Amino acid sequence: MNKKWLAAFAATVALSLPFAGCGGETEDEPGIVYDAKDWDIANTTVWKYHGTAEDVRIPDGVTCIADSAFSGCRALASVTIPDGVRGIGASAFSGCTSLASVTIPDGVKSIGGSAFSRCTSLATVTIGDGVTVIGDYAFSWCESLAGVTMGNGVKGIGDDAFYGCTSLATVTIPASVTSIGGSAFYNCTSLKTVTYGGTEEQWEQIAGIGGCGLSGKEITFAGNEE
C-alpha cells in the first residue's frame, strides 16, 4: 500500500476526532479531542486555528503550538494553554490584537521569536518556571503590556524581546538569567524600576546587560536582601 496514501489517511482520521462537548465523544476516546473545522492538529501539534472564538482553550494532549498557529486572530481575547504544551512557535500569537492576558504554564520550555508580537491589548504576562528561552521580538510592540513576571527557569531573553512595550512599568527578572539580547527592553518608555532575583554582582555578569535598554533604570536586587 502506498505510504503517501497511508499518511494522508492517518491525517484525515486524526482531524475527524470530535471536540469535547460537541457530542459523540466518549471518555476513553483515543487521541486529542477537538473540532476539525476550527483546528488543524496533527502529531500533537496545533498547526493552525481557524476559529473566531473570543475565549479559546487549546485541547489537552497538544504538546506544541506551531509557527503562526493563531497569528492574526483578532477576536481572540483569552487563551488557556494546557500544562502539556512544551513549545510555542515563532509568531504563534502575533497580531492577536484583542488578547488581554496570557499565562504560560510551567510545562512550556521555549517561546519562539515574535510569538506575541503586536498583541496591542496584552496587559499582563506570567511566564512559568519551565521556560528557559524567550525568543527575539517575542513580546515586541505590545503597547498595553504593563507588567511581566518571569519564572525562575529563564536563562536567555532574546534581542528586542520587549522592544516598544511603551506601557511596561515593572518587570521581574530571575537570577537564572545569564544573557539579555540587544535592545531587549529598548523603547520601554514607562519602565522605571526592575526587580532582579540575584545580587548586584550577578547582575553585572549577565551577558549583554549594557546594551539591552536597562541602563539608567532603578534596579532592586532581591538577592542582596538574603
Q: Which CATH number goes with the domain that contains 211?
A: 3.80.10.10
Structural domain count of the chain: 2
137 and 28 part of one domain: no
Residue 5 belongs to domain spanning: 1-37
109 and 14 part of one domain: no
22 and 43 part of one domain: no
Grid coordinates in use for 12?
Answer: 484525515
129 and 148 part of one domain: yes
8 A C-beta contact, residue 55 and residue 48 = no
Residue 154 sits at φ, ψ, to 5 deg, of -65, 125
Averaged pLDDT, 178-198: 95
Candidates 23, 56, 137, 27; CA nearest to 90 is: 137
Partners of 171 in beta bridges:
148, 194
Quick: pLDDT tens for 25-80: 322 223 677 788 899 999 899 999 999 999 999 999 999 999 999 999 999 999 99
Which residue carries 523603547 as its cell? 187
* Residue 210: predicted pLDDT: 87
167 and 85 part of one domain: yes
199 and 117 part of one domain: yes
Structure confidence at residue 8 as a pLDDT band (50, 70, 90): very low
Structure confidence at residue 95 as a pLDDT band (50, 70, 90): very high
